Structure 1
């Protein structure tokens, strides 16, 4: 296969993943708007191309097309405040952790800190070329969650799990596939993994 044909196929694959992510996320937003308005109302504004490029340059990686497409629609699944420890008892109750397992997609502002902190601690020291970008977490510390593999090569763009001081566990699904599975479970009213069927509490989606 020629270099040009390989480039065309890679571009086509990236476009497909980006479109899959956008379609899945649109379905999730439609469901939230109809059934969980409090969660929907606190979805953040989009990130910008400049912010994404700054993250890539700072961490020396390339964000996969499906992840990039998501961030250009929403900078995470909740406002930045949801991914930082509350400074006041008057702060709104976080709604950004509405994905299965109580996870949320962190804003770009947090990903650099998680990359240098919990994810760095979990990476193997003898593989400094790894580029695991954290995507989801269950709390503002970012000590547990999922990452997308940004290391050039066969695993690029696949999700995995990480936990503080544990060896990261690479996966086999893309971010687009994950969002599609979440959208399917949500719209069909069924459980996801070990989680029960989604429920709405006071206008908020909660899988736990």
Structure 2
């Protein structure tokens, strides 16, 4: 599925495509899995083996690839974001509270702005998306996290479904109608995907 997205970006939004990182190395994924204590979902692993997120060091990339407004994380950025969220959660909740939320099935939402060890962030900024690796029928679903409002979703049943949905949406975009101002031309690098 990533191939469809990559081809679209290179054809219609090369300034966004230029900010894509090369594939992540297997050693990075194994190190992340060792830190997690469980295997990455196969579709998330496959995604990072094709593209290690976007280069965010030069500021926010042109266009937000993950609806509604998120760039995809590299493996390193995902690990750092997750560590920060777990630290904050540990400061604001007791172990019993986190354990109870972790025991809930994947896809369960909570208005508490906490972070669980079973959540892996593939995209975001202050808010963002996470893959829910708790047990249950929705294991591997993609949900949205809001730093003040907690979790919402599921948005997609899997990372593969997320990538398929994004590719389908991109295929339906009339790039000539994204915006009529020259500064918003996706080929020039100052625009946003019309996710609506």
Instruction: State the match for 1:180 in structure 2.
Output: 164
Aligned partner of 2:132 among 143, 149, 163: 149
| RMSD (CA atoms) | 2.9
TM-score norm. by structure 2 comes to 0.72
SS of residue paired to 2:50: coil
Residues 90-131 of structure 1 deviation map (CA, whole Å, 9 limit, x = unaligned): x46634733332211111111122222236639952335650
SS of residue paired to 1:44: coil
Q: In structure 1, what is the Cα distance between the partners aligned to 2:158 and 2:60?
A: 30
Judged with a 3 Å threshold, the aligned counterparts in structure 2 of structure 1 residues 107 and 32 are, in CA distance, closer, same or farther, namely same
SS of residue paired to 1:118: helix
Q: In structure 2, what is the Cα distance between the partners aligned to 1:38 and 1:153?
A: 40
Runs of 5+ consecutive residues of structure 2 not aligned to the other structure? 104-115, 180-184
Q: In structure 1, what is the Cα distance between the partners aligned to 2:120 and 2:15?
A: 29
2:149 maps to 1:166: yes
Q: In structure 2, what is the Cα distance between the partners aligned to 1:205 and 1:157?
A: 31
> Deviation above 6 Å: which 4+ runs of structure 1?
none
2:7 maps to 1:25: no
Residue-pair matches, total? 167
Instruction: State the match for 1:74 in structure 2.
Output: 51
Deviation at 1:158, TM superposition (A): 0.6
